[in-house]
Amino acid sequence: MLIFKTTSKNTNTAKSSPIINRESKLYSGTIYTGKAIERMNRKKLLNIGDKLLTALIVLFLIITIFFKVRYIETGSMKPTLQVGSIVYVIPFSYSESKSPDIGDIAMYRSSTGMEYIHRIVDVTKDGNYIFQGDNNSTTDFSPVPLTSIEGKVVIRVNIVAPVIRAIKNLLDI
C-alpha cells in the first residue's frame, strides 16, 4: 500500500491523498478502489442489458405487428420447409394491384378455416390460385380466391427445425 503526499499550491501545506493499491485505478484525475470499479462495471453491464432488452422488445413488437409467425407442422413443403421450421408471413402482401406470382410460397385460409402454407403452382381462368405442397404429388383440394390468401412467406428459419423435432420426440408430442 502506498500513501502519497501532495502539496497544495495555494496553501503550501501537505495533505495526504487516498490510499492506492493494485486494485485502484485512476480515471479522469480521480482514484477509484476495487469496489467502486466493480460498481461502475455492474452499472455498465446493467445499462447494456437494458439496451439489449429494449431492442429485443422493439424487435418483438415489429415482428408481431408486421408479420404473422407460423410453425411448420407437416412435411408437405419438404425440402423447402422442414417440420419445425419457423416462417414469417407478410399479411396483406397481395391485393388487386399486386397479385401473387406462380412459385410464391404463400399462406391461405381454406373454407374450413385451416391455414395452409404451400406454393402457388397455377392460376385458373377466373383468377383463383392453385396451391401444392412441394412434397405432395397432387395439388390442394380446390382453387383459392385472392381474398383467402393471407400473405407471402418472406423469411424461412429452417435451422431451428432439428431442435424442435428433437424436443417433440423427447416429449412424445
Q: Map out the domains of the chain with their CATH numbers.
A: 1-66 (no CATH), 68-171 (2.10.109.10)
pLDDT of 112-129, one tens digit each?
999 999 999 999 999 999
Angle at Cα 110 formed by Cα 107 and Cα 173, nearest 5°? Answer: 75
pLDDT of residue 13: 45
Grade residue 5 by pLDDT with cuts at 50, 70 and 90.
very low
pLDDT for 2 beyond 50: no
125, burial (CB in 10 Å: exposed 0-12, middle 13-18, buried 19+): exposed
d(CA 132, CA 33): 68
pLDDT of residue 143: 96
pLDDT of residue 88: 93
Count H helices and E strands in the chain, helices first: 2, 10
d(CA 59, CA 51): 12
d(CA 140, CA 77): 12
Cell triple for residue 73?
Answer: 407442422
The residue among 65 and 9 whose pLDDT is bigger is 65
The residue among 57 and 139 whose pLDDT is bigger is 139
pLDDT of residue 15: 46
pLDDT for 151 beyond 90: yes
The residue among 163 and 114 whose pLDDT is bigger is 114
Q: Average pLDDT, stretch 19-31?
A: 54
pLDDT for 3 beyond 60: no
